[in-house]
Amino acid sequence: MIDRVVSAAPSGAPRTAPSPRMRRRAPLALLLAVVLGLGATTLAQGPLLVYSIIQEQDAAAITTAFTAATGIEVQTIRASGGEIVARVIAEGNAPRADVVLGGASNLHIAMTNAGVLDPYFSDAAPFLEGNQRDPDGYWTGFYLTALGIGINEERYRQAYGDKPLPVTWEDLLDPDFAGEIVMTDPIASSTAYLFLQTQLQRLGWDDGWEYLEALAPRVGQFPTSGSAPPRMVGTGEYILGVAFVHSLSSTIVQGFPVTLVVPPGTGGEAGAVSIVAGGPNPDLARQFVDFVMGVDAQQAFTDIALTTPLNPDVALPEAAIARASIDMIDFDADLAGSQREETLRRWESTLD
């Protein structure tokens, strides 16, 4: 049941000031390592090629509806956010894909800064506001992401008895939780990179790193896929997991003994779609973006993924978490995008 949701009062934590957008390329070593990791993937051939950061079944809900509405065939390659960003940048001189679908906006900002996206303002999205789309049109939001903590309550009670559930990010620093926390690898996953930036922006750079350096040794595993922590918490492999709220909601709906906590001062941003610069089918790519902004695509997506849609005419499923119930910091996606390389380098050194 989705009513196993814990809310907490706002934290009032300080925020960092925005910084100007900077155009930088990802480190060559990181690009090569990630792209080589994708080398075993067979590139699908088709009229429209979509690189998907959202899960396969979620992307299929959108692309199937698009094909049904337009008759246009879509082929999809799915990988984690970090892998997709690296691939699009590495293919910049000879683009293979037309569209990047899903993933937090900071990933699309990283591609924008690398000069591998084309701008497009969709007339089908007059409802978008502020940071829900790029001011220059390089990416367009279509759903909301937010972070939460999933707790396997059966294992929690076995291990900790009547100990109160963690309800804030600071509660994860409890020494009792050492080795029982799972979160994804920030280099590979947009979920975990959003987590890093959430701490840095809500606490400030120095205090944020103090928090992250204290948390890192308590994490038992850093899988590469954002879908792994909800699954591993659901099956009881770990007691606590950091993940997107909608992924944890899906785990609860599947019947696992998971409680969802949405800490005060959590991070969230628009999940976006963007057009690859120089892709083989620019007209079809723009048509696809227009479709994604519509009710049919967003309803199909949110019904299966339990995300919060940005199109106001979409009906929110009962199991999804309403935006009004989530206390989020004023997340600066541009800052997160511009700090990506520096943040990931420091995170790697933290784990060494």
Task: Give 99's strand partners.
Answer: 50, 275
pLDDT reported for residue 200 = 97
Dihedral through CA 38, CA 98, CA 70, CA 103, nearest 10?
A: 60
CA distances from 349 to 33, 51, 98, 191 (A): 17, 30, 35, 20
Region for residue 12 given its phi and psi (left: phi exceeds 0; alpha: psi -120 to 50; beta: otherwise): left
**pLDDT, tens digit, 9 for 90 and up, residues 101-158:** 999 888 899 999 999 999 999 999 999 988 899 999 999 999 998 999 999 999 999 9
pLDDT reported for residue 190 = 80
The CATH label, of 3.40.190.10, 1.20.1250.20, 3.90.1170.40, 3.90.1150.10, for the domain at 5-16+145-267 is 3.40.190.10
| Dist CA 228 CA 222 (whole Å) | 9
- Nearest Cα to Cα of residue 116 among 178, 38, 24, 184: 24
Residues 6+ apart with CB under 8 A from 105: 131, 134, 139, 141, 269, 270, 271, 272, 333, 337
pLDDT reported for residue 191 = 85
SS3 call for 312: coil
Q: What confidence category does residue 39 fall into, taking pLDDT thresholds of 50, 70 and 90?
A: very low
Q: How many residues does the chain have?
A: 352
Distance of CA 142 to the CA centre of its chain: 13
- Do 147 and 243 contact (CB within 8 A), yes or no? yes
Asked whether the domain spanning 28-144+269-316 has the same topology as the one spanning 5-16+145-267, the reply is yes
**Can you give the pTM of this predicted structure?**
0.73
- Nearest Cα to Cα of residue 227 among 90, 81, 24: 81
Phi, psi at 171, each rounded to 5°: -60, -25
| Token reading at 300 | 């199909």
Q: Which residue has the tokens 């997991």?
A: 241
| Dist CA 203 CA 12 (whole Å) | 10
Give me the amino acid identity at 227.
S
Least confident of 14-23, 148-157, 195-204, 313-322: 14-23
| Dist CA 112 CA 118 (whole Å) | 8
Q: Does the domain made of 28-144+269-316 have the CATH classification 3.40.190.10?
A: yes
**pLDDT, tens digit, 9 for 90 and up, residues 302-312:** 999 999 899 99
Give me the amino acid identity at 324.
A
**pLDDT, tens digit, 9 for 90 and up, residues 264-293:** 999 988 999 999 999 999 999 999 999 999
pLDDT reported for residue 164 = 97
| Dist CA 41 CA 83 (whole Å) | 12
| Token reading at 124 | 């089908």
Secondary structure of 53-116 in the HEC alphabet? Answer: CCCHHHHHHHHHHHHHHHCCCEEEEECCHHHHHHHHHHCCCCCCCCEEEEEEHHHHHHHHHCCC
Least confident of 28-42, 129-143, 309-323: 28-42
Domain ranges of the chain: 5-16+145-267, 28-144+269-316
**pLDDT, tens digit, 9 for 90 and up, residues 238-268:** 999 999 999 999 999 999 999 999 999 999 8
Average confidence score pLDDT of the chain: 87
**pLDDT, tens digit, 9 for 90 and up, residues 169-203:** 999 999 999 999 999 999 888 889 999 999 999 99
For the chain, give the percent of residues with pLDDT over 90: 72
